[in-house]
């Protein structure tokens, strides 16, 4: 019985870890093209979820709410790129770290005042009655999260590999200067990556909202773990984030069982600092050669 | 000279006296509370500025260090009955300790990873303070009693004066430190970590030291914070405070003690500004006007991009509109901070003090401090007697990148006193060879000997300490430092004063000697007149010469010049020839990597030719020019003539 309980905890945690992986994947998209990430990504997740909730409250059907939320995420992503990232990249400075933090704070404050500080439930057509697999309970809701995450990442990867625009994306990721010499606009491609990253954040928000409830603080812990997953796996690790996401999700679920729920965040944070100490480029990342 | 000293020191003293005298004139506990907070934030922000301004790293952990210091001080009083000084020392120590522990792993990283590491550390420290209830009482909060100092119990003004005294001490110590070799090293590693190591300064150790120092000051401020409020809660040291602290540093102005003080005053007053509606409206209106004026000025002078001019105006415009329509400004506190920060970061990156400094310097016509007379070159760069013995020996040196054999078994000997040319077509392995010798890359195989002793492998820093110095093909200057400081930071055998003396300002003698020595080297390359210019503002040719002067500051036995003539105009090439001859006359051996065949012919006694990572010819310049293998490598045979490069062309 005890072993079963442990496995149950690990499985539920791991499924939740898929959400971290998806948000971390959003970091990878922008890091690939511009070597920058949005420190306010959590606010994108949260704002998209709140916006979707408003659409539901207005009586829109679920199949319209999802694209509406996704579009909102894209718009936010593009805004972050324009207001917070482009200037800093043009000046080759790291000002984008501070600027994206600032934009995130602005989004957080706006959410507090527009939607209120309370957490609200997010209705979903998907059932949360558990299914049983070999004595382990999994809800269709949790499964929908896992399937959604894999589907989104798969589709984006397909887009990158099969479409012309996607190939431009890959070209800029590989070598920005060379791509520009070939007539690919790096600025547009970076814009595209921020749009995609916003899209991915919105999907993460909509997927996770029925489980976590929706409110301004819904993403503040999610995002810390997504950072951990991204850094531990490596910011250029591709699907490595999924493995690390599963692992971290399971680990923190067990930590909160053994040490108390207050320590839930600790393993991710410790892992991040350790990973940086031992493998700065991440477990699945590539070490780059210093050039002078 | 005296005017400068009088104005700058006078302003510092006046500010200190003014702050110190306020409690004597105004008997108001609320004002006193604000002043105390100002002094505490001052110490905290000076620390944060070391990381953000000087080291150029976004540090998101300073609020956490404040919290750790506060709890350390409070708990050491509660459990060990420490007196005030011991408890403050404890707080400082805890800050230093955790700062060092975090710095070791985190500072190997740059940019986002470092910011993320500090962010995680903050979250971890908040979790621990909250959850370790046995020690900290968690969210319930910890009562702290203010212990006596030297047997006296401090009342509110007394405690304020203690805070102010500590701020003044920290101010002086940091001013001394940041204007010494330490400060230069901090800025150097921000601009080019590779060159900092290659100049024997040690990027990593300075980074760790700087960050630990910043954290220690955070801890010290935390101790004062604990005894000021006498009640601690973990959530006081969270993300909100961190954002406010960043606002303070950025708004006040980076790389400036005055900036930290201005920033501290602003963030201490900020809550009051927000709670008073008229005041807030007035301030946002002023902000809008400043943004408009600065934006228009920037656009007219074409010094800023349109975005930099427009975005702050939009942000401040939103603030003005918001100040009239929102019901409760307190609710929008974070958005207000965000808009202000955004406008400052985009529109006024130098901060208020950076902006004011130009203006004040013009107003008072403060001359920069005079430079000493250059030292005699013989003392800076003593003549070496060239004995012709083997100086550098490479034996079967190899460096592979995956399957690419960039350097594939090179054996050569550089004799003391010679100018050894290293040539070869692009991609022949010259630069890789130099990067292996100078320690940027670890060799895949083979051995390297300098004067018969094995050369350290894979560490720029260790190689730099053996008496070998190099320049970089793609310039690696410290752009934000002056030409003089670029040379001073690399000077060998000058800085001997231990840290305590530096902090006390008792190391001025060696500073003057270093300045004189650096000027002599600048004179050697013809840059004495540009000593005060920022390296990034020099012409391209002068930047190349500055790289050479900086390498000479290592007082090298062997100097490696990596394509010094690349991209130089003809008059500058002649100047370069003169400089290299002058260096050679002093008995310094040189490895010269070059594409200009005329430069090679004029200077080099021995030339080694590389192709495909191997040596294909060696001898005098005349011999190798006629060597059929060399001609083939450069001009190619009939089947691969296209794309080859003639030796006489610039690379």
Distances (CA, A) of B112 to A253, B56, B115, B214: 27, 12, 5, 19
Q: B322 and B221: one domain? A: no
The set of residues, in sequence order, having a beta carbon less than 8 Å from that of A83 and lying 6+ positions away, is: A99, A103, B311, B342
Chain A residues within 8 A of B239 when measuring between CB atoms: 220
Specify the pLDDT at position A26: 92
Distance (Å, whole) CA B149 – CA A152: 63
Mean pLDDT score, B307-336 = 88
E strand spans, chain A:
131-133, 136-138
Whole domain around residue B357: which residue ranges?
Answer: 280-366
Q: What percent of chain A has pLDDT over 90?
A: 34
Q: Is residue B13 part of a domain?
A: no
Out of B307, B335, B476, name the one closest to residue A292 (CB).
Answer: B476
Q: Supply the CATH number for residue A264's domain.
A: 1.10.3470
Residue B517 near residue B380, CB atoms below 8 Å:
yes
Same structural domain, B192 and B334? no
Residue B651 has pLDDT above 60, yes or no: no
CA–CA distance, B8 with B86 (Å, rounded to integer):
33
Whether residue B645 is predicted with pLDDT greater than 70 in this model: the reply is: no
* Residue B367: C-alpha distances to residues A49, A112, B184 (Å): 59, 52, 21
- When pLDDT is cut at 50, 70 and 90, the band that residue A289 belongs to is low
Chain B residues within 8 A of A228 when measuring between CB atoms: 120
Of A107-121, A169-183, B409-423, which gets the smallest average pLDDT? A169-183
In whole angstroms, give the CA distance from residue B579 to residue B590. Answer: 12
Tell me which residue range forms the domain holding A182: 2-114+136-278
Q: Is residue A288 part of a domain?
A: no
Chain A residue numbers touching B331 (CB-CB < 8 A):
112-113
pLDDT at B313: 92
Distance CA A113, CA B479 (A): 44
Examine the domain organization and report whether B271 and B284 are in the same domain.
no
pLDDT digits over A87-139, tens only?
A: 888 887 778 888 999 999 999 999 999 998 888 888 888 877 887 877 788 88
Could B435 and A292 be called an inter-chain contact, meaning their C-beta atoms sit closer than 8 Å? Answer: yes
The chain-wide mean pLDDT, for chain A, equals 87
My answer on whether B484 and B383 are in the same domain is: yes
Domain count, chain B: 3
In a domain, B56, yes or no: yes
State the DSSP H helix or E strand holding residue B616, giving kind and residue range, or none if neither: strand B614-619
Please indicate, yes or no, if residue A123 is contained in any of the structural domains: no
Q: Last residue of some domain: B245, B275, B305?
A: B275
Are B191 and B49 within one domain? Answer: yes
pLDDT-derived band at B254, boundaries 50, 70, 90: confident
Burial zone of A237 (CB within 10 Å; 0-12 exposed, 13-18 middle, 19+ buried):
buried
B105/A39 touch (CB, cutoff 8 Å), yes or no: no
Domain final position from B247, B275, B303: B275
pLDDT tens-place string over residues B170-218: 999 999 998 888 999 998 988 888 899 889 888 888 888 999 999 999 9
CB A190, CB A34: distance < 8 Å? yes
For the cut 60, the answer to whether the pLDDT of residue B75 exceeds it is yes
pLDDT of residue A290: 63
Cα B226 from Cα B146, distance rounded (Å): 8
Residue B386's Cβ-count burial label (10 Å; 0-12, 13-18, 19+) is middle
CB contact B346 to A (< 8 Å): yes
Chain B residues 10-49 within an 8 A CB cutoff of chain A: none
Q: Average the pLDDT over each of A30-39, A87-96, B55-64 and give the range with the smallest value.
A: A87-96
Per-residue confidence (pLDDT) for residue B646, from 0 to 100: 45
Residue numbers in B near A285 (CB within 8 A): none
Q: Give the model's pLDDT for residue B419.
A: 92
Mean of pLDDT over chain B: 87
| One domain for residues B169 and B300 | no
Given B308, B333, B366, which residue is the final one in a domain?
A: B366
> Is there a domain that residue A289 lies in?
no
Q: Which helix (H) or strand (E) holds B143?
A: strand B142-143
- The residue with greater pLDDT, B168 or A93, is B168
Where helices occur in B302-350 by DSSP H, the ranges are 306-325, 333-347
Rounded to whole angstroms, how far apart are CA atoms B134 and A243? 36
Q: Looking at beta carbons, which residues of chain A come within 8 Å of B130? A: 262
Residues B477 and B558 in one domain: yes
Domain assignment of residue A170, yes or no: yes
Q: What is the pLDDT of residues A58-71, one digit of tens each?
A: 988 888 999 999 99
Question: Do B176 and B138 fall within a single domain?
Answer: yes
The neighbour count for residue B480, using CB atoms within 10 Å, is 16
User: In chain B, what percentage of residues exceed pLDDT 70?
Assistant: 96
B residues 192-251 closer than 8 Å to A (CB): 194, 239, 243, 246, 250
Alpha carbons A52 and A33: distance in angstroms, whole number: 29
Residue A55 lies in a domain: yes
Neighbours of B363 (CB within 10 A): 9
B213 vs B174: CA distance, rounded Å: 10
- pLDDT tens, residue by residue, B524-556: 999 988 888 999 999 999 999 999 999 999 999
With CB atoms and an 8 Å threshold, state whether A98 touches B246: yes
Chain centroid to CA B580: 30
Report yes or no on B24 lying in a domain. Answer: no
Q: Do B338 and A262 touch (CB under 8 A)?
A: no
- The answer to whether residues B303 and B401 belong to one domain is no
Assess whether pLDDT exceeds 90 at residue B220: yes
Distance from B332 to chain A by nearest Cα, in Å? Answer: 6
Bridge-based pairing of strands B606-611 and B404-415 is: unpaired
Is residue A131 domain-resident?
no
The proportion of chain B whose per-residue pLDDT surpasses 90, expressed as a percent, equals: 35
* Secondary element (H or E) of residue B454: strand B453-454
Q: Sorting pLDDT into bands at 50, 70 and 90, what band is A6?
A: confident
Chain A interface includes B459 (CB < 8 A)? no
Note whether B332 contacts A: Cβ–Cβ < 8 A. Answer: yes
Quick one: which of A118, A158, A103, A148 has its CA closest to B343? Answer: A103
What is the distance between the alpha carbons of residues B166 and B647, in angstroms, rounded to a whole number? 64
In which residue are the tokens 């920290």 written? B170
Are residue B209 and residue B174 in the same domain, yes or no? yes
The mean per-residue pLDDT over the stretch B591-610 comes to 88
DSSP B395: E
Q: Measure the CA–CA gap between B52 and B46, rounded to whole angstroms.
A: 10
Confidence band for B638, pLDDT divided at 50, 70 and 90: very low
Per-residue pLDDT of B1-37, as tens digits, reads 677 777 878 888 888 888 888 888 888 888 899 999 9
Report which secondary-structure segment, H or E, holds B510: helix B508-524
Residue B363 corresponds to which tokens in the numbers above? 């107003």
State the angle between helix axes of B84-106 and B203-229 in degrees (0 to 180), rounded to the nearest 10: 140
By CB atoms closer than 10 A (0-12, 13-18, 19+), residue A169 is buried
**Structural domain count, chain A:** 1
Place of tokens 């405690």: B159
Among A102, A260, A262, A283, the strongest candidate for a mutation testing the B interface, having the largest count of B CBs within 10 A, is: A102
Residue B633, domain CATH = 3.40.50.300
Residue A290 in any domain: the answer is no
Coil, helix or strand at residue B610:
strand
Distance (Å, rounded) from C-alpha B456 to C-alpha B437?
9
What pLDDT does residue B193 have? 86
Quickly count: other Cβ atoms within 10 Å of residue B285's Cβ.
14
* Residue B304 sits in the same domain as residue B252: no
Pick the closest to residue B624 from B431, B470, B407, B423 (CA basis): B423
Determine the pLDDT at residue B107. Answer: 66
Does the CB of B444 have a partner CB in chain A at under 8 Å?
A: no
State whether B333 and B414 are in the same domain.
no
* Phi and psi at residue B619, to the nearest 5°: 150, -160
Write down the pLDDT at residue B243: 86
**Considering only CA atoms, which of B41, B33, B232 is closest in space to residue B145?**
B232
Q: Which one of A83, A262, A273 has the shortest CB-CB distance to B311?
A: A83
- With respect to residue B633, please indicate whether it lies within any of the assigned structural domains: yes
Regarding predicted confidence, which is higher, B114 or B368?
B114
Q: What is the pLDDT of residues B474-527, one digit of tens each?
A: 889 998 899 999 999 999 888 888 888 888 888 888 888 999 999 999 999 999
CB contact under 8 A, A106 and B349: no
Q: What pLDDT sits at residue B117?
A: 85
């Amino acid at each position: 019985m005890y072993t079963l309980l442990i496995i149950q905890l690990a499985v539920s945690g791991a499924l939740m870890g898929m959400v971290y992986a998806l948000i971390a994947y959003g970091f990878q998209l922008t890091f690939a093209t511009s070597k920058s990430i949005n420190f306010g990504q959590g606010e994108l997740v949260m704002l998209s979820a709140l916006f979707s909730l408003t659409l539901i409250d207005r009586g829109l059907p679920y199949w319209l709410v999802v694209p509406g939320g996704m579009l909102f995420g894209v718009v936010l992503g593009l805004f972050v790129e324009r207001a917070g990232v482009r200037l800093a990249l043009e000046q080759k400075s790291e000002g984008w770290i501070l600027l994206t933090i600032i934009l995130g704070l602005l989004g957080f404050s706006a959410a507090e005042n527009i939607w209120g500080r309370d957490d609200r439930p997010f209705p979903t057509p998907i059932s949360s009655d558990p299914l049983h697999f070999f004595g382990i309970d999994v809800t269709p809701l949790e499964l929908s999260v896992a399937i959604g995450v894999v589907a989104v990442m798969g589709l984006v990867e397909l887009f990158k590999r099969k479409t012309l625009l996607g190939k431009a994306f890959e070209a800029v990721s590989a070598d920005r200067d060379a791509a520009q010499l070939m007539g690919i606009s790096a600025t547009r491609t970076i814009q595209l990556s921020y749009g995609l990253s916003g899209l991915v954040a919105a999907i993460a928000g909509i997927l996770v909202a029925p489980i976590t409830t929706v409110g301004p603080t819904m993403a503040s812990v999610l995002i810390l773990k997504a950072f951990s997953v991204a850094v531990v796996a490596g910011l250029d690790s591709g699907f490595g984030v999924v493995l690390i996401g599963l692992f971290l999700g399971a680990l923190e679920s067990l930590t909160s069982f053994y040490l108390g729920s207050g320590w839930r965040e600790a393993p991710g944070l410790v892992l991040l600092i350790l990973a940086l100490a031992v493998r700065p480029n991440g477990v699945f990342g590539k070490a780059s050669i210093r050039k002078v | 000279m005296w005017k400068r000293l009088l104005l700058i020191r006078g302003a510092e003293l006046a500010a200190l006296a003014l702050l110190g005298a306020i409690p004597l004139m105004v008997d108001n506990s609320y004002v006193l509370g604000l002043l105390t907070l100002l002094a505490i934030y001052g110490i905290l922000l000076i620390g944060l500025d070391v990381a953000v301004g000087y080291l150029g790293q976004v540090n998101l952990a300073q609020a956490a260090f404040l919290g750790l210091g506060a709890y350390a001080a409070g708990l050491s009083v509660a459990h060990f009955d420490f007196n005030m000084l011991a408890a403050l020392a404890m707080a400082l120590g805890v800050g230093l300790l955790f700062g060092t522990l975090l710095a070791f792993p985190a500072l190997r990283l740059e940019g986002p990873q470092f910011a993320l590491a500090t962010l995680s550390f903050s979250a971890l420290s908040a979790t621990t303070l909250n959850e370790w209830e046995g020690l900290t009482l968690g969210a319930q909060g910890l009562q702290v009693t203010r212990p006596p100092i030297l047997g006296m119990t401090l009342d509110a003004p007394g405690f304020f004066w203690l805070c102010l005294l500590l701020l003044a001490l920290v101010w002086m110590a940091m001013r001394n430190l940041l204007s010494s070799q330490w400060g230069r090293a901090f800025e150097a590693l921000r601009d080019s970590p590779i060159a900092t190591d290659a100049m024997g300064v040690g990027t990593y150790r300075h980074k760790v030291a700087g960050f630990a120092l910043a954290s220690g000051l955070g801890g010290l401020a935390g101790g004062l914070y604990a005894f000021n409020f006498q009640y601690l809660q973990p959530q006081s040291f969270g993300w909100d405070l961190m954002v406010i602290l960043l606002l303070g540093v950025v708004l006040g102005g980076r790389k400036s003690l005055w900036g930290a003080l201005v920033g501290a005053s602003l963030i201490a007053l900020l809550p009051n500004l927000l709670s008073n509606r008229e005041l807030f409206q007035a301030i946002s209106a002023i902000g809008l006007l400043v943004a408009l004026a600065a934006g228009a000025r920037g656009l007219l002078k074409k010094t800023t991009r349109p975005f930099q001019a427009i975005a702050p105006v939009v942000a401040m415009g939103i603030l003005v509109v918001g100040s009239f329509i929102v019901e409760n400004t307190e609710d929008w506190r974070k958005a207000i901070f965000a808009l202000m920060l955004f406008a400052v970061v985009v529109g006024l990156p130098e901060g208020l003090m950076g902006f004011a400094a130009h203006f004040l310097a013009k107003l008072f016509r403060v001359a920069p401090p005079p430079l000493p007379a250059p030292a005699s070159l013989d003392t800076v760069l003593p003549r070496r007697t060239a004995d012709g013995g083997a100086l550098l020996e490479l034996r079967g040196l190899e460096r592979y990148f995956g399957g690419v054999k960039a350097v594939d078994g090179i054996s050569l000997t550089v004799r003391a006193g010679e100018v050894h040319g290293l040539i070869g077509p692009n991609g022949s392995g010259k630069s890789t060879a130099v990067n292996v010798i100078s320690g940027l890359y670890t060799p895949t195989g083979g051995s390297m000997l300098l004067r018969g002793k094995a050369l350290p492998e894979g560490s720029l820093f260790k190689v730099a300490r053996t008496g070998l110095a190099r320049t970089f093909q793609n310039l690696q200057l410290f752009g934000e430092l002056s030409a003089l400081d670029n040379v001073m930071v690399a000077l060998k055998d000058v800085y001997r004063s231990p840290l305590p003396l530096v902090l006390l300002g008792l190391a001025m003698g060696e500073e003057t000697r270093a300045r004189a020595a650096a000027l002599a080297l600048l004179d050697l390359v013809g840059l004495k007149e540009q000593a005060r210019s920022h390296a990034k503002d020099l012409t391209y040719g002068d930047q190349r010469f500055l790289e050479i002067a900086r390498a000479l500051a290592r007082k090298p036995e062997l100097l490696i010049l990596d394509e010094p003539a690349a991209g130089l105009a003809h008059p500058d090439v002649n100047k370069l020839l003169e400089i290299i001859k002058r260096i050679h006359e002093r008995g310094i051996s040189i490895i010269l990597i070059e594409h200009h065949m005329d430069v090679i012919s004029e200077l080099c006694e021995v030339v080694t030719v590389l192709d495909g990572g191997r040596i294909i010819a060696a001898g005098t310049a005349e011999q190798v020019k006629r060597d059929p293998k060399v001609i083939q490598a450069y001009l190619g045979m009939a089947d691969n003539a296209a794309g080859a490069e003639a030796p006489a062309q610039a690379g």
